[in-house]
């Protein structure tokens, strides 16, 4: 079983559309994250939810809205897609209270905005 | 140092040789340092989480050391094999909220 899964794996869409990326973890973790791999290949955190509560909210356009229906899911909705949103988006999860706990990453969603 | 820096950016290693590379991070507000191994088209795979000055971790032929006072960590690969080819990322954490600040990575290519 995949520990952290994302759907879809690839997403090609037109500028101006609204799209969602889904993430699910079966590790029983209490915290989930969204990262964006930027044009320079850096992984940068966007959001984090702990027990369905938003705990990290970096400087991200408000067209990006995370939604956590339960601890095992963290979805990313993007409104009015722009060319610059093209990137690889990674979901991750961890057990936050444990300082030595690592974050487990999903396979990534490759988004291409045309 | 304000950000996480990794050097070198890339290195080529002959199979069987050992190698090492550096992660530098701010020496203040240290909480934890993470190392990941990232193969192309796959997800980053956790190697180590280090929290204490002087920590040494080992996983097979890969090991890491940590110096929080001077703000650096070394990753060592002993007897490199082609399957060690990957980008090795370090990530710095300043608090308990889980925010990781990643370096750009060191790309390792091991040639037979």
Question: Chain B partners of A40 at a C-beta cutoff of 8 Å?
Answer: 104
Confidence label for A1 from pLDDT (cuts 50, 70 and 90): low
For A24-45, the pLDDT digits (tens) are: 999 999 999 999 998 778 899 9
User: Of residues A96 and B53, which shows the higher confidence score?
Assistant: B53
Q: Which residue of B has its CA nearest to A98?
A: B96
Confidence label for A53 from pLDDT (cuts 50, 70 and 90): confident
User: Of residues A99 and B35, which shows the higher confidence score?
Assistant: B35
Q: Which residue of B has its CA nearest to A100?
A: B49
Classify burial at A5, counting beta carbons within 10 Å of its beta carbon; exposed 0-12, middle 13-18, buried 19 or more.
middle
Beta carbons within 10 angstroms of residue B72's beta carbon: 18
Q: How far is the C-alpha of B26 from the C-alpha of B74, rounded, in Å? A: 15
Please confirm whether the linkage preceding A39 is cis (ω < 30° from 0): no
Candidate from A105-109, B1-5, B42-46, B59-63 with smallest mean pLDDT: B1-5
Average pLDDT, chain B: 94
Question: Chain A partners of B100 at a C-beta cutoff of 8 Å?
Answer: 43, 45, 103
- Specify the pairing of strand A109-113 against strand A10-13: parallel
- For residue A58, what pLDDT is reported? 87
pLDDT exceeds cutoff 70 at B1: no
pLDDT exceeds cutoff 80 at A97: no
Residues of chain B with pLDDT > 90, as a percent, come to 86
Which of A42, A31, A105 has its CA nearest to residue B101? A42
Say yes or no for a CB contact (<8 Å) between A107 and B102.
no
- For residue B73, what pLDDT is reported? 98
- Specify the pairing of strand B100-102 against strand A31-37: unpaired
């Amino acid at each position: 079983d995949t520990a952290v899964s994302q759907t879809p794996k690839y997403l090609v869409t037109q500028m101006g559309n609204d799209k969602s990326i889904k993430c699910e973890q079966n590790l029983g973790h209490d915290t989930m994250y969204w990262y964006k791999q930027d044009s320079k290949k850096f992984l940068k955190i966007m959001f984090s939810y702990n027990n369905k509560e938003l705990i990290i909210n970096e400087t991200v356009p408000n067209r990006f809205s995370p939604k956590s229906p339960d601890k095992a899911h963290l979805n990313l909705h993007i409104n009015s897609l722009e060319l610059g949103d093209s990137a690889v988006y990674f979901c991750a999860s961890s057990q936050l209270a444990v300082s030595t706990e690592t974050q487990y990453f999903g396979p990534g969603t490759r988004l291409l905005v045309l | 140092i304000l950000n996480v820096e990794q050097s070198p950016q890339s290195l080529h290693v002959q199979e069987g040789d050992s190698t090492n590379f550096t992660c530098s991070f701010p020496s203040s507000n240290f909480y934890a340092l993470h190392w990941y191994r990232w193969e192309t088209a796959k997800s980053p795979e956790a190697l180590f989480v280090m929290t204490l000055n002087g920590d040494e971790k080992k996983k097979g032929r890969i090991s890491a050391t940590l110096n929080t006072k001077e703000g650096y960590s070394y990753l060592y690969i002993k007897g490199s094999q082609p399957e060690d080819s990957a980008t090795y990322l370090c990530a710095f954490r300043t608090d308990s909220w889980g925010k990781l600040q990643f370096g750009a990575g060191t790309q390792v290519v091991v040639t037979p």
